[in-house]
Amino acid sequence: MFKEQDVAHYIKISHLIWTGYVICTNNSNRLKEIFSARPCNTRRDRPRLRLIHVVEKDCLVFKIKNWRSLAADRGGWNRLVQNTLAHIEPQ
């Protein structure tokens, strides 16, 4: 059975895989525009959590530096994600 820690890591890995896909897409792609957009918020509450903030936290957990430039290189990003996945695989 999965441990909660393992499931959380797999979710983080899936965030990284999806982010690599989005970063490598064309700048005019609607998906990339939504990913990098800052929603205008007129409410007085705290700012909304965006996926980019979640990805930045995930990169800190996995000790990935310069993730934006790494994600632009599709092959390098895939190797990085596979290496990260290999480190959390159950023994």
Give me the mean pLDDT over the 35-61 stretch: 79
Answer yes or no: pTM beyond 0.75.
no
Which tokens belong to 66? Answer: 């310069």
8 Å CB contact between 84 and 62: yes
Contact call for residues 15 and 62 (beta carbons, < 8 A): no
CB 19 within 8 A of CB 55: yes
High-pLDDT (> 90) share of the chain, % = 0
